[in-house]
Structure 1
Amino acid sequence: MTVPIAIIGAGIAGLSAAGALVKAGHTVHIFEKGKGPGGRMASKRSNAGPLDLGAQYFTARDRRFVAQLQQWQAQGCVAVWAPTLYQAQGGQLRPSPDEQTRWVGAPRMSALTRAMIQDLPAVYGCRVAEVFRGKEYWHLLDAEGESHGPFSHVVCAVPAPQAATLLAAAPKLAAVAAGVKMHPTWAVALGFDKPLQTSMQGCFVQDSPLDWLACDHSKPGRDSSLDTWVLHATSEWSRQHIDLSHEAVTELLYGAFAEIIGCAVPVPTFSLAHRWLYARPASNHEWGALADGDLGLYACGDWCLSGRVEGAWLSGQDAARRLLEHLE
């Protein structure tokens, strides 16, 4: 009997690890608490069409990720987004062009993770609460009390605070994960019947509750009958207002948006708020991935490296490499 490897989390890191392990001839089984793959790369379905409420774009620096990106581009699941960029600071709005190449999933951010998962076996809507060892193999206990297994190894590809709980059987790894601080982010999407009278398509913001705003439907392949915008609050503002209602957050961030954009902003015909409790790590690390090869427990995610999409992918590759090396 071939005992599969469990991957907890179907974001970029988990799917990166899964793909590398399958390529090496192993069987994986993926568990994801959401309704589909993506994690913070997921796109939210809405009355205004799919919206990128999490990762807004990504960049590529590492040659391995660049090579992978070229494959995705050939598959048609990513495209370059070249927005007209601005910077807002102290009430002043000015153009802020740069030479950075920005990539997005096409026709929505989640297209990338859907291409990565393909037909790999996955269970959605399954929140893993505990990872425990049987006589010979690992088993997972979900929040409904159902057991899954057996598994030869377990890769935890979830935010650090959640990984710390799941890694209880490896106290050293759990302690490292528990020491990682992750920032929250409130995200708000707004839709307008008519396009706002601005050339801005993306804006880096300072001195405001917001730190980023983007015209979502300016991204390649987006099809919406509305002029859709996504706003991200700063980590500090999000932390201070973490328990505010979605309606109150939408109203406050709409007000901040109207102050920044430099044109008339009507009442939106559509609005949506989403709270990311673990949006990004507070600082960079250089672990690549966490591993206890003797136990067969691994952890990966953007928090093991740069906090970027590229870091998440590289971390998944590193977790798979360490697991495969231990099997040699």
Structure 2
Amino acid sequence: MSDKPQMIHLPETMANWPWPRYINPHYEEVKAQSDAWFKEFKPFTETSQHAFDKCDFGRLASLAYPWASKEHLRTGCDLMNVFFVVDEYTDVESAPIVREMVDIVIDAMNYPHKPRPDGEILLGEVTRQFWERAIKTATPSSQKHFIEAFTDYLNSVVEQASDRDSDHVRTVESYLSNRKENIGARPSYVPAELGLNLPDEAFYHPVVTELSYYIAELIILDNDLASYNKEQATGDDRHNILTVVMQQFNTDLEGAIAWVVNYHEDVEIKFLDGMKRLPSFGPTVDKELEEYVLALAIWPRTNDCWNFESGRYFGSKGLEFQKTRYVPLLPKVKNDSTLKREQVVVPLVDL
């Protein structure tokens, strides 16, 4: 028997993506401000906060919004902190509790000037403060788009919790349909839109909607490839495209990865083709739409770079794995799922 650890091969899915890596020059400064604000809420234990910090969500925002002003980048950094605290808090709860949490977040977003009730879970006040600051520098159309997209995302988190409660593994089609909202891509496009005034006929045009969902799919595929190792180790891999493909097509991990690579290539082609089919709405709107579509197009590169540059999935060895493309399979660990809210365990990856 060999003592060598089993390895997972991470294919270079983004090798042919036409858009390079960018990062916002205000990254360090704005990330520090956002993180200091977030930590005031004491959302985690010291150990879990350390693991959360390793994820470097300010880097994710700075890669995603490389041309944003400091104010709009701050909205992006705050949003990433909000996303991932919602993620950590809801991941360990049953669907009815997740529904209660989600309703609090939706209420805080719709009434950002209303004081939150005493004793409420901190998600309400975190969301309220984030959105109250964001709307000061956001156009009315971008505010509307964010509230719609973030509400859809939150409702999909409840669906994910229902799947978890019943240990339900979806089909590929059903999984991607839920995950396209659940990955949080649509609300994540909005910080790039905060200064734009895209009219409904452009923003909701079928081709633009199609493009936004293709990007969401690329983010899902790359996120699931990167996160699978951590998720299989903690027993939280039922909500991952690799598990779904293995079960539906009765294949092994290698076969599932090959399926994802092929599907990824198909989606890339569809996105590039869709860009050619964008209608014209006149010079002013076309210029803004071009800016928005560019913001969509850099998201898959953003996501791929952050997967390796942060410590969320590969600990301190991300850049090494980005070169070698081989990651040792993590041993199974048991997290204490009885620890909730401020006591929730944010797993630290150490490969």
TM-score by length of 2: 0.29
Which has the larger helix fraction?
A: 2
Structure with the bigger RCO (C-alpha within 8 Å, sep 6+) is: 2
